[in-house]
């Protein structure tokens, strides 16, 4: 079970936004960032209002503390496209993750973005490993019944 850190505001169509933003071929991520600057990339592609320094500081706070903050939360990776997040109120959310935006295989940012989340149940009586295992093994109806998804 892999934990990932996800930005707490949704962002959509990142790959398309990158193509519309820039149609050049870059050899390295550093070349791309040095040409545009991270603040412009964050604003124009990711839709961020805060600059890189603030977001990176909050990301590192989340990473070091091992807990959510007002900018980022932890999620459990199901596969490259989906993750789950258990809220402080023990609600389980299925996240549809945005693909990492990368230049020649190097991600531009360390954190993940999601484009949508759906409530799928409550986790009062289960731990993270059991929830991840159940998402993979149970049918949708069985999962909803077990986790009171309705």
Identify the residue whose tokens are 């990368």: 102
Q: Are 51 and 39 in contact (CB under 8 A)?
A: yes
- Sign of the CA dihedral running 24, 27, 29, 35: negative
CB 94 within 8 A of CB 120: yes
pLDDT given for residue 103 in this prediction = 84
Residue 116 dihedral angles phi and psi, to the nearest 5°: -160, 155
Q: Which of 43, 32, 39, 52 is nearest to 104 (CA)?
A: 32
Q: How far is CA 60 from its chain centroid?
A: 15
* Contact call for residues 67 and 86 (beta carbons, < 8 A): no
Q: What is the pLDDT along the chain (150 residues), one digit of tens a residue?
A: 899 999 999 988 888 887 777 767 788 889 989 999 999 999 998 999 999 999 999 999 999 999 999 999 999 999 999 999 999 899 999 999 998 888 888 899 999 999 999 999 999 889 999 999 999 999 999 999 999 887
């Amino acid at each position: 079970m892999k934990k990932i850190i996800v930005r707490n505001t949704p962002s959509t169509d990142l790959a398309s936004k990158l193509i519309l933003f820039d149609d050049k071929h870059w050899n390295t991520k550093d070349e791309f960032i040095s040409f545009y600057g991270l603040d412009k990339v964050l604003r124009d592609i990711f839709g961020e209002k805060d600059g890189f320094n603030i977001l990176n500081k909050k990301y590192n706070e989340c990473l070091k503390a091992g807990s959510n903050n007002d900018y980022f939360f932890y999620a459990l990776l199901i596969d490259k496209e989906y993750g789950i997040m258990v809220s402080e109120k023990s609600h389980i959310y299925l996240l549809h993750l945005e693909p990492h935006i990368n230049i020649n295989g190097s991600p531009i940012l360390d954190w993940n973005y999601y484009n949508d989340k759906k409530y799928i149940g409550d986790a009062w009586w289960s731990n993270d490993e059991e929830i991840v295992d159940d998402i993979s093994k149970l049918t949708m109806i069985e999962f909803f019944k077990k986790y009171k998804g309705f």
